Amino acid sequence: MFQLDSHPSGRHFLQIPGPTNVPDRVLRAIDQPTIDHRGPEFARLTFEILEGLKEVFQTAGPVIIYPASGTGAWEAALVNTLSAGDRVLMFETGHFATLWRALAEKLGLVVDFVPGDWRSGIDAALVEAKLAEDRAHMIKAVLAVHNETSTGVMSRIPPIRQAIDRVGHPALLMVDTISSLGSIDYRHEAWGVDVTVGGSQKGLMLPPGLSFNAVSDKAIAASKHARLPRAYWRWDEMLTMNRQGYFPSTPATNLLYGLHESIAMLREEGLPAVFSRHARHAEATRRAVRGWGLEVLCRDPDKYSNTLTAVMMPDGHDADAFRRAVLAQFDMSLGTGLGKLAGRVFRIGHLGFFNDLMLCGTLCGVEMGLALQDVPHGRNGVGEALAHLRETTTTTTTTEQRRAA
């Protein structure tokens, strides 16, 4: 077996904003014999998962599953709906918006990329202004990253939908929910999204390797006329085979066992409880950051992410040196600064399979790391977080009580 670095005793703290900690229940589900993906048991598995995913994406429409990382689902969203030379509107919210833009350009799309400061979300007024200028309807899609994993800034989707509708623009709306799905309230259908891109390795508590497109009728209609070359990513072949409980090529059988289990876990806890757990942990984390006298990267409290917090390092201190010290001393991985934030921020992931005491351990590790690295900081970060957890504790329903309900 591949030898991991030695973790002397106790569990490693994986507090990057994805991949996240995989629950033992999910690991055990994955650790079952691989079955015939053309057999009858498999069709039952597929049907149950496809129904469960609709609840997670909050849609009655189809959700397509790819054995691919999130980048594959980005590509699938574009090649199924657009043609070479089509214009798309995007916003520079951070590293992942920048990567999606680069992918779109490699496919031959023309991207109108509205510059941003990597500390703010998408301004719906700008969406409206850009689309109002486009009287000839040359823009075929608006692409938004719901939760920017590189910055901890969440863009609100309903105001973007309303902006598109106010100017009566026919552009498709595509949203990346890779670090929000299953953690922050997201409603594919009610919010009028045409393609939602998701991934397995964050709120769904699975290892990396699966990604998703939830699609609207309008997106499916667009796919009939889109001319970008596509073969593996074709929605039509997927949808046809899925209707019988199968996939056009060999699916990731064991990851699907895991997905079946993680959907069960989300159902047992209940999505509203999952969302409020994430909101509470995120608020406790921000209080800790303020208690340390450090700054949260996100400028706008209305756009704080509930799945991760990006923390700015004081001038003269390298965020990566800090992260290395925390890993070496406390066996905890924190998220690195990506792109132009390299060395300037570290990110605390507080999503997925996570509870109060895991948050406490995480914040203690950060506070002790700041002291270890002589980073000037206030001493009461953990105390502030604990006070918030104490004030907002509600009686937890046990799994048995939830199952019985």
**Given the rule CB under 6 A, which residues bind ligand PLP?**
18, 69-71, 96, 145, 149, 176, 178-179, 199, 208
Minimum CB distance to ligand PLP, residue 258 (Å): 16
Minimum CB distance to ligand PLP, residue 373 (Å): 26
Rg (CA), the chain: 21
Minimum CB distance to ligand PLP, residue 19 (Å): 9
Minimum CB distance to ligand PLP, residue 54 (Å): 22
Minimum CB distance to ligand PLP, residue 199 (Å): 5
Which residue has the closest beta carbon to ligand PLP?
70
Nearer to ligand PLP, 70 or 381 (CB): 70
Nearer to ligand PLP, 159 or 208 (CB): 208
Nearer to ligand PLP, 176 or 261 (CB): 176
Nearer to ligand PLP, 71 or 336 (CB): 71
Is the peptide bond between 248 and the residue preceding it cis, with omega within 30 degrees of 0?
Answer: no
Minimum CB distance to ligand PLP, residue 212 (Å): 11
Minimum CB distance to ligand PLP, residue 147 (Å): 6
Minimum CB distance to ligand PLP, residue 204 (Å): 12
Nearer to ligand PLP, 77 or 288 (CB): 77
Nearer to ligand PLP, 99 or 386 (CB): 99
Nearer to ligand PLP, 120 or 149 (CB): 149
Nearer to ligand PLP, 95 or 388 (CB): 95
